[in-house]
Structure 1
Amino acid sequence: MISVEHLRVEFGAKPLFSDATFVIGDRDRIALVGKNGAGKSTLLKILCGRQQPTEGTVSAAQGTTIGYLPQVMVLTDDTTVREEARKAFAGNTALKERLDRMEAELAERTDYESAEYMALVERFTREHDRYMMMGADGYEADIERTLMGLGFGREDLDRPTSEFSGGWRMRIELAKILLERPDVLLLDEPTNHLDIESIGWLEQFLAQGAKAVVLVSHDRAFINNVTNRTIEISCGRVVDYRVKYDEYVRLRAERREQQLRAYENQQKEIADIKDFIERFRYKPTKAVQVQSRIKQLEKIVPIEIDEVDRSAMRLKFPPCQRSGDWPVVCDGVGKAYGGHVVFSGVNLSIKRGEKVAFVGRNGEGKSTLVKCIMGEIPFTGTLKIGHNVEIGYFAQNQAQLLDGNITVRRTIDDVARGEVRLRINDILGAFMFGGEASEKYVRVLSGGERSRLAMIRLLLEPVNLLILDEPTNHLDMASKDVLKEAIRAFDGTAIIVSHDREFLDGLVTKVYEFGGGRVREHIGGIYDFLSQQADKFVSQQVNKLVSQQVNKQTSRQGDMLSQQVNKSNLLVDSSARPSSTKEDYAARKEQQKLLRKARKAVEDSEARIACMEGRLKELDALLSQPENASDMTLVTEYTDTKRALDEEVERWERLAEEEERMKNEE
């Protein structure tokens, strides 16, 4: 749908990248990767026409629509959330208004036989058919489904957008772009303002509902779940890998190893040629060979090696005194703002050395509890900080606390101690402050750059309790790996508020889920927690489907079952009259009641089995489609449903045996 040919972009003397050539096809899902500053966002702007390249062309098929979500947008606050999202259907709304005007005109006119009236009827019919093909008024349901998928509650939809933070307003803009259903989606860091549940919903939407997607993201799990192709910008070149990100990482390592071998061979060849030239430069008998070698040397094109991945560098927190066994203990902690209860009855104990995650939807109280632990806001209940606890705190606004009148290097040099002072250049380079960037004054840095600088300061402070609130929002993958390894090697305690699953994986051993005014503890890593949530969701869906199926069967078979029950009761009565005592009669009636319950349990189990078998067939059909083959949401649902079906079949067998036994006793 979009063809890119020989693209070149220059800022100053050195090109950002050159000779970029690739094609974006229908159903392509492309991850655009490279270090910060490589030109990823610039390439997205060129693809959507907001910026022009120095050289080359970008052409799109006629009628191709493009939706673009930048990292920073100019947002308006003059409507409600629902009305703002409705702007995505401006075409539908305008067409509906034209139809209403034509309908009113048709009702008023009486010249039914005139050519003008017939032309109006024909135009109304054509426009009405078009309106119905566009979905008519059904887009209201799409608006609610998309906004709620991105984390908004139903009660939020009619609130003014001015009441929401910048992150929530970015979600509204993302919803508008998704609702437009463009042919090509260009998304620049779409997960920065989303929580884990919203990211999961967006993954599923992009995998199943979107056409072509090109995205920039530092969320490795998100990229792997969404994309099937990786385009890398490195060393001023654009390289197309038609594989997922994890496979790209492996192929890139192999490619770099090949480059190193080729580079070493080329350097040996160059050295041999130069040695020959120097040895025989002044011998007349070798003049022809020397000139040949000189020409050969001039024709050699130097082999470039891809940039070194700095994520292999290791940082270690400086030593600190040992804290008490329980750095943080909460007993019945609660927080409310007026009538709004953020959470209540929070009971948790974090042991020394534990790494735990706070997860949940935005606004459920994760950062609020962190502020309670830091003593920044009042709360109810009891919260104890352990003996000798030294807290290192990274807040979302931490960047604002830096001194803007000193340089980046001075900011780090002031807190560095011991041997780490010898590695300041490497540390700054790992967090993208290498070279001249280290001499910038803090006041000229962007918000993301300040956040990275604040993170470096924290890594160099001697603490035994780390509290990190969204630490990865402005870090690229290499920097996140450096931070993750540093925390993993940290021998103190860590509380991490994050929605980055890949960052939390293998790092935390306990997850605290915030939601509905409560905080629930889950033992295990982040994917153990997500697996439990998936099982819970599948169970809810199965129960819902089964309930619907049972209700249908009940409505169809209710009368027949009632007649059978009455007939059974009559038989019991007639058999009881001649010779049975009152006690025998009651016992027999109770036996009939138990038998009916057993029969009902078997029927309900059969309904569950039929429902789950039907869902498995649907999932089989979805997974057989190439675009869904790697959709982990579908794979997980299929696995969980299959397991639930096997368990239900075993349960049905036990119920059927019990029913048969009761029949025999009857």
Structure 2
Amino acid sequence: MISINNLSLSFGGYTLLDNINLHITDKDRIGLVGKNGAGKTTLFKLIMDMQSPSEGKIAKPSDLNIGYLPQQMEHHHSKNVIDETMSVFEAFFKMHDRVDAISEELSLRKDYESNEYSKLIVELNDLNDKIALWGGQPPRTFAESVLMGLGFRENELTRPTNTFSQGWNMRIELAKILLRKPDVLLLDEPTNHLDIESIQWLEDYLQSFSGTILLISHDRKFLDNCTNRTVEIVLGKLYDYKVNYSKFVELRKERIEQQRASYENQQRMIEKTEEFIEKFRYKPTKSNQVQSRIKQLEKIDRIEMDLEDNSTLAVKFPPAPRSGDIAFNVMDASVSYPDKPEKIIFSGANIEIKRGEKVAFVGINGEGKTTMMKVLMGQLEPIEGSAKLGYNVNIGYFAQNQEDVLDNNDTVYDTLEKIAVCDIRMKLRDLLGSFLFKGEDIDKKVAVLSGGERSRLAMARLMLN
């Protein structure tokens, strides 16, 4: 279906993908894994012809219908949720209109044996076959079921899309892709903005999906439930395992251990052979043996260890000033947003967070988790009750859209330099290195960073603040 042949991609001397090959067949369910910046999203863009390789090619049928959900995308804000989602059926409705037009024309014609009549019959049959592929469910009913499966409530379907966050607009785009019923799904971190119930719904949908799936995710359980083949990108190379993620982790460990053992055994043998050659090279009585060993070394198929990326984050939060015993206290609080004061997000809320506690806000989307965080930050004031920070509490806030505050025109280094003060300017490279930005990475533009890299940079920026 999709064949990637001897493909390489380089940027100014840096090779991101190095002579990789991959064959994707019908009904494959592939998890594409690797560290942030390894080239996973770039490979998707290459498949979608959004980028061109430096060498090699990607072969795919011209009529292949691919649905692609990127990590970041532009959203349309001129319609409400259901109307924007229904726009995906424009081609479907046009096919129906054409079927009606052909049927009416056929009913008026009498030239049953003519070529024109036969062509209309063929076109009508083709259109009916395509319409049948959409299934018998009415488009609006289908759209509503997908949207509600992704977490939208019925009363939210007529809300303008510009009143929703980026995460919710991403769900609309995901719904549109699923409704197109593509042959191939390319999903780049689809669970980033989904709650637990929506992830479960998406898992069930993908398990029943009849086409091919390529999935990028850092959610191990999601990968296990939705894929049966794992492709890893490491330092420009590609490794293909015909198993799900959990089994892949075991097989990769076994493969590397076996490879290392074979490599070490061979190196010991080579070392002993070279010692023998060096020791007896100039002894006439050993010349035949020396020549035999030299030829033996020349014929050896030398084992090469696969490159491993063992880099890990080395982050240590700076010590916080000691606060009072109560870090945050809410009493009988009711909260709404200033632009919609009549819509109460939550009411009668009571919570007390003590110094040193680790607290998780859980619940389905729309229940007020982010709203409570904004109350904690002082960005929202309760319309009833109270919300107070404790004595000497210093807050660092990493919001859902934290990476959106980054300037795409800045380099990684510039992003931190803008806010660094005093002696910390001398330690920026060390700080970036602890977040895995090393060497030429610090000169990359923010615009070319992967989603994970942008999040790491945003976290570094937060710590610097």
TM superposition score category, shorter chain reference:
0.7 to 0.9
Name the counterpart of 2:333: 333
Shift of the alpha carbon at 1:331?
0.9
Shift of the alpha carbon at 1:444?
8.8
Note if contact 1:95-1:127 (Cα within 8 Å) is conserved in structure 2: no
1:554-593 deviations in whole A, cap 9, x for unaligned?
xxxxxxxxxxxxxxxxxxxxxxxxxxxxxxxxxxxxxxxx
Note if contact 1:317-1:460 (Cα within 8 Å) is conserved in structure 2: no
Shift of the alpha carbon at 1:354?
2.5
**Pair 1:226–1:341, CA change in 2 (3 A):** same
**Pair 1:386–1:300, CA change in 2 (3 A):** same
Residue type of the alignment partner of 1:336: S
- Under a length normalisation based on structure 2, what TM-score does the superposition of the two structures give? 0.80
Residue type of the alignment partner of 1:383: A
| Alpha-carbon distance in structure 1 between the residues aligned to 2:59 and 2:174 | 25
Alignment of 1:278-297 (within 5 A): 278-283=278-283, 293=293, 297=297
2:406 is equivalent to residue 377 of structure 1: no
Name the counterpart of 1:389: 393
| Alpha-carbon distance in structure 2 between the residues aligned to 1:87 and 1:291 | 76
| Alpha-carbon distance in structure 1 between the residues aligned to 2:446 and 2:19 | 35
Residue type of the alignment partner of 1:239: Y
| Alpha-carbon distance in structure 1 between the residues aligned to 2:456 and 2:203 | 27
Identify the range of structure 1 (36-45 vs 5-14) with the bigger mean alpha-carbon deviation. Answer: 5-14
Name the counterpart of 1:307: 308
Name the counterpart of 1:27: 27
Residue type of the alignment partner of 1:155: N
- Under a length normalisation based on structure 1, what TM-score does the superposition of the two structures give? 0.58
1:299-345 deviations in whole A, cap 9, x for unaligned?
5535224424345x665444445444432221111211222222221
Q: Between the two structures, name the one with larger relative contact order (CA 8 Å, sep ≥ 6).
A: 2
Matched residue SS, 1:360: coil
Name the counterpart of 1:235: 235
Identify the range of structure 1 (265-274 vs 403-412) with the bigger mean alpha-carbon deviation. Answer: 403-412
1:55-114 deviations in whole A, cap 9, x for unaligned?
55544468643222222334444444333323333332111111333456578x5x7688
Matched residue SS, 2:326: coil
Residue type of the alignment partner of 1:244: N
Residue type of the alignment partner of 2:362: V
Note if contact 1:334-1:345 (Cα within 8 Å) is conserved in structure 2: yes
**Pair 1:9–1:282, CA change in 2 (3 A):** farther
Matched residue SS, 1:272: helix
Name the counterpart of 1:99: 99
**Which of 434, 441, 446 is 1:437 aligned to?**
441
Note if contact 1:78-1:160 (Cα within 8 Å) is conserved in structure 2: yes
Name the counterpart of 1:269: 269
Matched residue SS, 2:263: helix
Matched residue SS, 2:239: strand
Note if contact 1:69-1:190 (Cα within 8 Å) is conserved in structure 2: yes
| Alpha-carbon distance in structure 1 between the residues aligned to 2:117 and 2:278 | 94
| Alpha-carbon distance in structure 2 between the residues aligned to 1:229 and 1:198 | 23
Shift of the alpha carbon at 1:34?
1.0
Note if contact 1:103-1:124 (Cα within 8 Å) is conserved in structure 2: no
Name the counterpart of 2:132: 133
Shift of the alpha carbon at 1:48?
4.0
**Pair 1:163–1:115, CA change in 2 (3 A):** farther
**Pair 1:278–1:128, CA change in 2 (3 A):** closer
**Pair 1:128–1:66, CA change in 2 (3 A):** closer
Identify the range of structure 1 (59-68 vs 248-257) with the bigger mean alpha-carbon deviation. Answer: 59-68
Alignment of 1:432-511 (within 5 A): 432-438=436-442, 449-456=453-460
- Paired residues, number: 453
Residue type of the alignment partner of 2:177: I
Matched residue SS, 1:187: strand
Matched residue SS, 1:331: strand
Shift of the alpha carbon at 1:273?
4.0
Over the matched positions of the two proteins, sequence identity in percent amounts to: 47
Identify the range of structure 1 (56-65 vs 298-307) with the bigger mean alpha-carbon deviation. Answer: 56-65
**Which of 355, 358, 362 is 2:361 aligned to?**
358
**Pair 1:415–1:428, CA change in 2 (3 A):** farther
**Pair 1:102–1:34, CA change in 2 (3 A):** same
Shift of the alpha carbon at 1:146?
1.0
**Which of 328, 342, 359 is 2:345 aligned to?**
342
Alignment of 1:14-93 (within 5 A): 15-18=15-18, 20-56=20-56, 58-60=58-60, 64-93=64-93
Name the counterpart of 2:148: 148
Q: Which has the higher helix share?
A: 1
Note if contact 2:183-2:212 (Cα within 8 Å) is conserved in structure 1: yes
Matched residue SS, 1:433: coil
Alignment of 1:512-551 (within 5 A): none
| Alpha-carbon distance in structure 2 between the residues aligned to 1:218 and 1:414 | 35
Alignment of 1:156-195 (within 5 A): 156-195=156-195
Residue type of the alignment partner of 2:455: S
Note if contact 1:331-1:345 (Cα within 8 Å) is conserved in structure 2: yes
Residue type of the alignment partner of 2:150: L
| Alpha-carbon distance in structure 2 between the residues aligned to 1:287 and 1:14 | 47
1:136-187 deviations in whole A, cap 9, x for unaligned?
6722211111122222333333444444444333222211211121222111
Matched residue SS, 2:362: strand
Name the counterpart of 1:601: none
Matched residue SS, 2:175: helix
Note if contact 1:412-1:424 (Cα within 8 Å) is conserved in structure 2: no
**Pair 1:321–1:195, CA change in 2 (3 A):** same
Note if contact 1:413-1:424 (Cα within 8 Å) is conserved in structure 2: no
Unpaired segments of 5 or more residues in structure 2? Answer: none
1:508-531 deviations in whole A, cap 9, x for unaligned?
xxxxxxxxxxxxxxxxxxxxxxxx
Matched residue SS, 1:309: coil
| Alpha-carbon distance in structure 2 between the residues aligned to 1:302 and 1:120 | 62
Matched residue SS, 1:357: coil
Unpaired segments of 5 or more residues in structure 1? Answer: 462-666
Note if contact 2:232-2:239 (Cα within 8 Å) is conserved in structure 1: yes
| Alpha-carbon distance in structure 2 between the residues aligned to 1:158 and 1:269 | 73
| Alpha-carbon distance in structure 1 between the residues aligned to 2:416 and 2:303 | 34
Residue type of the alignment partner of 1:182: P
Shift of the alpha carbon at 1:118?
7.6
**Pair 1:234–1:132, CA change in 2 (3 A):** closer
